[in-house]
Amino acid sequence: MFSIVCTYNNEKVMDDYLLRGLKEQTSSFELIKVDNTSGTIKSAAEGLNRGGRSAKGDYIIFMHQDVYFMSGEWLEKAESFLRKIPDLGVAGIAGMRKAKAAGAFKVGEIPVENRACFVYQGPEKKPKMYGNAFAGPIEVQTLDEQLLIVPGNVFTGIKFDEKTCDGWHLYGVDYSLSVKKAGLKAYVLPLPVWHLSSRPMGDEYYITLDKILKKHKREKVIYTTCGSWHTSNFFNCLNLVLMAIKGGIGRWTGRNNYGAAPFIRTMKLLLGNKK
């Protein structure tokens, strides 16, 4: 039924989280581990495609090494949900629904009310249950990367984009929007997991984001679990300039500790300037 694919760089973390959760499952599965302890794999898309090509399950679950299933029936319950979704392109456990408004002058901010999330985060196992409670799968625009479930027949035709996502960020966002172009949808399942850590965004995030905004320009606005963005960098940069001015004035008057620098840095990265 399920093929579990994980690109890992820390075997102990994988043993303590991913494998510990899998050992408790009541359903059978195929496990495909992609070893990146040497750092030779340069992107998540590359590693997951490598593992996914050998998967034999009806559904392929692409997981981070530090994600733990919080129920022994997790896979069993997931199957019951997935079988009932006729237009499934990809499913996950954290995602963003489209907001009614484009969020003008708030680029990079997260409209929390649009987040669908069933995750306990960090060493302290803090719950991150945002948005309205729901008992069944809910459609979202994009999914977070910590866990992605793709039907095997969908993955045969749509792989992770190694050119656009040539690092470790946003490949779930890109995949969600790519299956939409094929007439399929992305969903969040109401099945909780524990995710130990989150990868810092850094410069790479914004460099990849710029490529995704160009690739999926028809979306107008892309909502991610780390922020929402116009697909037009003109509007993004206009918003960032205004936010930089506000931040600069705030810092000068002692009301804002961020100042203008972070917004200017983000704007430069979106425009392809890494310096």
Q: Which residues of 83-105 are buried (b: 16+ CB within 10 A; e: fewer)?
A: eebeebbbbbbbbbbbeeeebee
What radius of gyration do the chain's Cα atoms show?
Answer: 19
DSSP 122: T
Task: Tell me the average pLDDT across 220-232.
Answer: 88
**High-pLDDT (> 70) share of the chain, %:** 88
Using CA atoms, how far apart are residues 111 and 142, in angstroms rounded to an integer?
Answer: 13
Q: Is the pLDDT of residue 31 over 60?
A: yes
Contact indicator for 51, 57 with CB cutoff of 8 Å:
no
Give the domain ranges of the chain: 2-198
pLDDT at site 220:
87
Structure tokens of 233?
């960098």
> Using an 8 Å Cβ cutoff, are 269 and 211 in contact?
no
**Angle CA 152–155–156, to nearest 5:** 90
CA distance 53 to 109: 36
Q: Which residues pair with 195 in a beta bridge?
A: 67, 121
Asked if residue 246 has pLDDT above 80, the reply is: no
Share of the chain above pLDDT 90, in %: 62
Give the mean pLDDT of 42-53. 97
Residue 143: name the closest of 184, 183, 93, 181 by CA: 93
Residues facing residue 230 across a β-bridge: 221
Answer positive or negative: Cα dihedral of 248, 250, 251, 253: positive
Q: For residue 74, is pLDDT > 60?
A: yes
What mean pLDDT comes out for the span 123-134?
Answer: 69
Task: Give the pLDDT band (50/70/90) at residue 70.
Answer: very high
The DSSP letter of residue 18 is I
262: amino acid identity, one letter = P
What predicted TM-score, i.e. pTM, was given to this entire model?
0.88
d(CA 109, CA 63): 26
What is the average per-residue pLDDT within 268-273? Answer: 75
pLDDT tens readout for residues 160-213:
999 999 999 999 999 999 999 999 999 999 999 999 987 667 788 888 999 999
Tell me, what's the pLDDT at 5? Answer: 98
Element spanning 20, H or E = helix 20-23
2-198 has CATH 3.90.550.10 classification: yes
Helix axes 233-252, 202-215, angle to 10 degrees: 150
For residue 28, the model assigns a pLDDT of: 93
| pLDDT for 255 beyond 70 | no
The mean of the pLDDT values for the chain is 88
Residues 6+ apart with CB under 8 A from 124: none
Distance set, CA 26 to CA 21, 33, 186 (Å):
11, 20, 26
- pLDDT of 253 reads 61
Residue the block writes with tokens 């960020």 = 169
